[in-house]
Chains A and B, each alone.
Chain A
Amino acid sequence: MKKQEMIELLTGVRSSKQNYYTELKTTVEELKKRNSQLELMNEVMRSFNMNMSVQEMLEKTLKRLGDIYPIKRVSLALFDGKELRLSYVSPEEALYLKKGTPFPHKNSLYYEVFATGQERIYQKGDTCEFLEKEAFQQLSLQSVFLFPLTSRGKIIGVLSLGGCSPFSYDANDQAFLLHLAGQIAVCVENARLYEEVFAGKQQWEETFRAVSDAILIISPNGTVLSKNDAAVSAWPLEDFEDIRPFIQEASRSANNPFEETVKSHKPHYAELRFQNKFYDCSCYPLFGEEAALHAVILYSKDVTEKRQMEAQLLHSGQLAAIGEMAAGVAHELNNPLTAIIGNTQLLLRRNKINEQIKPLLDDIDLCGKRCRTIIRSLLAFSRQEEFAFKPCSLNQAVTEALSLTRRQIEKQNIQLDIRLADSLPLINGNLQQLSQIAVNLLINAKDALEEVTDRKRKLIIETAADQQSAFLKVIDNGSGIDAAIANEIFHPFFTTKAASSGTGLGLPVSFGIAKSHGGRLFAESIQPHRTIFTLSIPLLNERL
C-alpha cells in the first residue's frame, strides 16, 4: 500500500465512526427476512392440516420465497420406487422436460442429489456437464439450488429452486432452505399417505356398499353409525333413529341377537321376522380401544323365499307319506264300504220296512256315501287315480266350479265379484281336478265369510297370467288365517270348520293337484280382512 493511501486511512478521510443507525437498519432488514422465512415455514406446515394439494403448496411456497429470494421456479422430483421422476412444477408452464420424465442415473444433477443426499448449487457458468443444463438454459435459470427431500431418514426426492438472476446466499440462507426442504418432504409424504388412506377407505366403503345383504354398524345405544344401500330398504330408519325397537319387534319369537351380542361380546345369530319377511340375522361385536365394545355389526339376509320353498318342500314330503298310507287304507276300506252301501240300499228298497228302522238305514246309507267320498278324495290326493291332461283354461275351471257353488254363495248374501281375464293362455291340465281346486277355494271362502256380520261380505275370484304362469286367485274379506296356523292349513285333516262340515282334506288335495300340475298353491293373509289363495300353473309352453 502506498504511503499516502495509508496516511489517508490513518487520518480517516475514507472512514467514519461506525453508526448505530446503520447497524439498526441492517438488523431490521435481517429480522424482516427472518420473519418472512418463518411465515413461509408456517405456511408449509399449515398445509399439512389443511389438506392442501402438493401443487397448491408449491405455488404458495414459491410466492413467499419470491419475497425473500430471487426465486422464480420450484420443482419437485419424486422417487416412485423405481425411478426419480419430475413430479410437480410451479409455475406449471415453466416446463422443459415433461412431467413424469425419469432422470437417468448418469449425468443427471437431480439424480446425483438424490443418490448422494448432498445439496447442490448450480450457478450460470458451471463447467460440469450434465443433462439438466440445457433445460436450465432454456428456462433462463441463472442459479438453481437442489436439495434432497428426506422423510424418516429416507430420501424421497429432490427439491429444486431456480432463480433468473445470480443468487448470493450465506450459511443462514442455506440452513433455512435445507429446513424448508425438510418441511416440504414431510408435506409431500403426508399428502401421499393421505391419498393412500383415502383410497383404502374408499375401496372399503365400496365393498361395504356392494354387498346386497343389509349390513349395519350400530353403536351399543342403538344408533346406526353406518349402513349399506341394502340396509336402507330392509330397515326403514330415519337418521340417528334407535334401531333397538325394530330388532325387538322382529325377534319376538327368537332371542334378540343384538342385545345378546351387546351383553356377551360374542357373535349371535337369530332368524328375525319383520313385515312378513324372514331374515337370517347375525350380530358381531366390533371392539375399539382396550377391548371395549365399540359397535355391533348387524348382517341380515332376506331368506323369505327360501323359507317359503322350504315350507312347501316340507309339506310335499309329509303329504307323500300320508298319501301312501291313506291310499293303502282307502283301498282296504273300499271293498267293505261297497258291501255296506250295497246292502243298506238293498234293505231300503224293500217295501216292508219297519218305520222305526228306516231312519237308521238312511243314516247308514248317508254315512257310507260320505265315507266313499272321503276315500275317493284320499285316492285322488294320493294320485291313485290317474287323470288325463290336455290343454285347457283356468277360466273354464272357474266357470264349472261356479256352476256348482254359485247358489250356495249367493244364498249367504256374499257379493261375488268374478274377474276372468280375457284370452287367458292355455295350460296343460285336467279340467275336472282344476275345477275341484276352484270349488274347494270358493267353499272355504264362503265358510270363512259365514261369521262376518259387521261388514259387507265380499268374495273375488279372478284369473290372470304372466309370461310363465296362469293364476287363479280367490280373495275374501273374512277373518283371515291366524299366523300361528298358517303353516298347518295344508296338512291333511287339519280344519277349523265344524267336524260335520269339514274333512280337512280340501286344501291338501288341492295342494296335491297343484303340485301334479307343476304349479303352486299358497295363501296370504293380509291383516285385516283380506285373505288371498293363489293357484299358479305353468303355461302350456312353459311347463318343463
Chain B
Amino acid sequence: MYKFVMPEIIFGSGSMKHTGESCTRLGAKRVLIVTDEGVTQAGWSDLVETSCREAGLASFLFSNVSINPKDKEVESCARAYLDYECDALVGVGGGSAIDTAKAAAVLATNGGHIRDYEGVDRISSPLPPLVMVPTTAGSGSEVSQFSVILDTDRQKKMTIVSKSLVPDIAVVDPDALSTKSSYLTASTGLDVITHAIESFVSVAATPLTDVHAKNALALSSRYLRPSVASKYNKEAKEQMAMASLHAGLAFSNAILGAVHAMAHAIGGRYPFLHGDINAVLLPHVMEFNLLASPDKFKEIASLMGEDVQSLSPSAAGEKAISFVKKLSIDIGAPLTLSEMGFEEAFIPEISETALADACMITNPRDITAEEVASLLRKAL
C-alpha cells in the first residue's frame, strides 16, 4: 500500500512568466515573494513580480533568506506575510528560499514556533496557496513534502515532513539555471544524484517513485558534466531541470537515507553547501548500503551508463560507487569533509543527531551510531 503526492507542475522554457497567473488561479490577491539576494540580483524575482503585476496581483518582496535558512528568517518572513495581509506565497530560488516560504506558510496559518512542527505530520491547519519557482536544479523542494530549517538555538537542522508542505503549483523554468555558477551547478547536481540514488534504494520506494528515480539518475548522469561545463548549454540545463524534478518527486514520496540524515546533522553545525556534503558522503554510504540491495545498485550502475551486464550485483555496485567518485572529481566537488573545514571532535554528537533524523528511517541498511561515526571518519 502506498501513496504518491505531487503538485501541479508547469515545466518549460519561459514558464516563469506564468507564475502570477498561477497564483490567480489559486484565488490569490496579495502575494509574498520569498527569495534571496542572489536570485534578486540575477533578475528572476523581478520577472516573477512583473508576472504578478500583470496578473493584477499586489506583490511584496521578502529577500532576507540565507543559505541553510534559519528559524529567525522564517519568523520574520511569516510576520511580513501577515503584516502585508497576503493570501499566497511564492518561493523563488534554491532550496533555501523555497523551504523558507513553506515554513513561513506553516507559521502564518498554524501559529507558534517552527520548532513545534519538527518531525512528521505535525501540521493541523491548511497552508496558504504555495507556488514554487526553483532557480537551481537540485533541492526538489518545489515538489516535495519536506522543509529543512536550521534551529539556531540547538544548531540543528529540523526536518519538517507533511503532505501540507507539498506546494500547490511548481513552475520549473530551465532558463533560470543559466545564471548559476558552475560551482553551484556542480553542488546542486550532486544533490540530484544523491536524491535519485537514496530514494531508489529507500525501503519506502515504490514502482511510482522508481520511475522518477531512474529517470533522474539517467538524466543527471548524462547531463551534469555538460551543464557544469557551460552556462549556455540549453539542452543540458533543461535536462538537469527535468532530472531535479524527477528526483524531487521520487524522494518526496520514497524518502531518503543515511546521506541526507548525516548531511542535515552536519548542516546544522556548519554552513556548508548541502550538495557538497552529499557529494562527500554519498560514495561512503553507497558502500555501506551495497549489502542491503545489491540488485538495485547494479541497476544504478546501469542507469549511469556503465556496462554491468556481465558483472555480479555487488561488483556492479562498486562500479556505481566509482562512477560517483569520478564524477565528483570531474566537476570539482569537494572530496573530503576536512577540506570543507569539518572537525572530527563533533563526530559523536553529529552521529547521534543523524541517527534521529527522519531520513535515516528509510535507509536500506540498519545503522547504529557507531556505524554513522565510522562513515563520517571515512569521509574526513
Residues of A within 8 A of B (CB): 3, 6-7, 9-13, 15-20, 22-23
Contacts and interface: CB of A to CB of B under 8 A. Distances in A.
A18 B126 contact: yes
B1 A13 contact: yes
A9 B254 CA distance: 11
Enumerate the 6 nearest inter-chain pairs by beta-carbon distance, A residue then B residue, closest first. A18-B126, A17-B163, A18-B164, A11-B204, A20-B126, A9-B120
A6 B359 CA distance: 11
B166 A17 contact: yes
B198 to A, nearest CB: 13
Contacts of A11: 2-3, 204, 206, 253-255
Contacts of A6: 120, 361
Contacts of B161: 10
Contacts of A22: 126
Contacts of B361: 3, 6-7, 10
B320 to A, nearest CB: 24
A23 B1 CA distance: 28
Contact of B127 (A3, A7, A15, A18): A18
Contacts of A15: 121, 162-163
B362 interface: yes
Nearest to A16: B163
B124 interface: yes
A2 to B, nearest CB: 10
Interface string B355-379: 0001001100000000000000000
20 contacts: A3-B361, A6-B120, A7-B203, A7-B204, A7-B255, A7-B361, A7-B362, A10-B255, A10-B358, A11-B204, A11-B206, A13-B1, A13-B2, A15-B162, A16-B163, A17-B5, A17-B163, A17-B164, A18-B123, A22-B126
Interface string B197-223: 000000110100000000000000000
Contacts of A23: 125-126
Contacts of A16: 163
Interface of B: 1-3, 5, 120-121, 123-127, 145, 161-164, 166, 203-204, 206, 253-255, 358, 361-362
Nearest to A21: B126
Nearest to A15: B121
Contacts of A12: 3, 5, 121, 145, 163, 253
A13 B253 CA distance: 10
Which secondary structure dominates where chain A touches chain B? helix
Contact of B126 (A7, A9, A13, A19): A19
Nearest to A22: B126
B362 A10 contact: yes
Given A17-B164, A18-B124, A18-B125, 15 more contacts: A7-B361, A10-B120, A10-B161, A10-B204, A10-B362, A11-B204, A11-B206, A12-B121, A12-B163, A15-B121, A15-B163, A17-B5, A17-B126, A19-B126, A23-B125
Contacts, number: 54
A10 B261 CA distance: 14
Q: By CB atoms of chain B within 10 A, which of A6, A10, A22 has the most?
A: A10
A357 B1 CA distance: 172
A16 B123 CA distance: 11
B159 to A, nearest CB: 10
Contacts of B123: 18
Contacts of A20: 126
Contacts of B362: 7, 10
A506 to B, nearest CB: 114
Contacts of B3: 11-13
A22 to B, nearest CB: 8
Contacts of A13: 1-3
A152 B327 CA distance: 82
Q: By CB atoms of chain B within 10 A, which of A11, A12, A16, A22 has the most?
A: A11
A26 to B, nearest CB: 9
A8 B1 CA distance: 9
A463 B34 CA distance: 124
Q: By CB atoms of chain A within 10 A, which of B164, B166, B361 has the most?
A: B361
A265 B74 CA distance: 80
B173 to A, nearest CB: 24
Contacts of B5: 12, 17
A3 B166 CA distance: 23
A94 B127 CA distance: 49
Contacts of B203: 7
Nearest to B128: A20
A3 B121 CA distance: 16
Nearest to A7: B204
Nearest to B119: A9
Contacts of B204: 7, 10-11
A6 B255 CA distance: 11
A169 to B, nearest CB: 20
A264 to B, nearest CB: 71
A18 B361 CA distance: 24
Contacts of B145: 12
A7 B161 CA distance: 12
A348 to B, nearest CB: 143
Contacts of B255: 7, 10-11
A236 B358 CA distance: 102
Contacts of A9: 120-121
Contacts of A18: 123-127, 163-164
Contacts of B121: 9, 12, 15
Contacts of A10: 120, 161, 204, 255, 358, 361-362
B361 to A, nearest CB: 5
Nearest to A3: B361
A18 B162 CA distance: 9
Contacts of A17: 5, 126, 163-164, 166
Nearest to B358: A10
A17 B123 CA distance: 9
A12 B4 CA distance: 8
Nearest to B7: A17
A162 to B, nearest CB: 33
A18 B163 CA distance: 7
A15 B145 CA distance: 12
A13 B203 CA distance: 15
Nearest to A17: B163
B160 to A, nearest CB: 12
A333 B102 CA distance: 143
A13 B120 CA distance: 12
Nearest to B255: A10
B289 to A, nearest CB: 16
Nearest to A6: B361
B348 to A, nearest CB: 24
Contacts of B126: 17-20, 22-23
A3 B255 CA distance: 13
A15 B3 CA distance: 10
B52 to A, nearest CB: 22
Nearest to B110: A18
A145 to B, nearest CB: 28
Nearest to A23: B126
A13 B1 CA distance: 8
A10 B357 CA distance: 12
A23 B121 CA distance: 17
Contacts of A19: 126
A7 B362 CA distance: 7
A12 B362 CA distance: 13
A293 to B, nearest CB: 62
Nearest to B253: A11
A382 B203 CA distance: 149
A440 to B, nearest CB: 114
A14 to B, nearest CB: 8
A18 B5 CA distance: 13
A18 B254 CA distance: 20
Contacts of B166: 17
Contacts of B254: 11
Q: By CB atoms of chain B within 10 A, which of A18, A19, A20 has the most?
A: A18
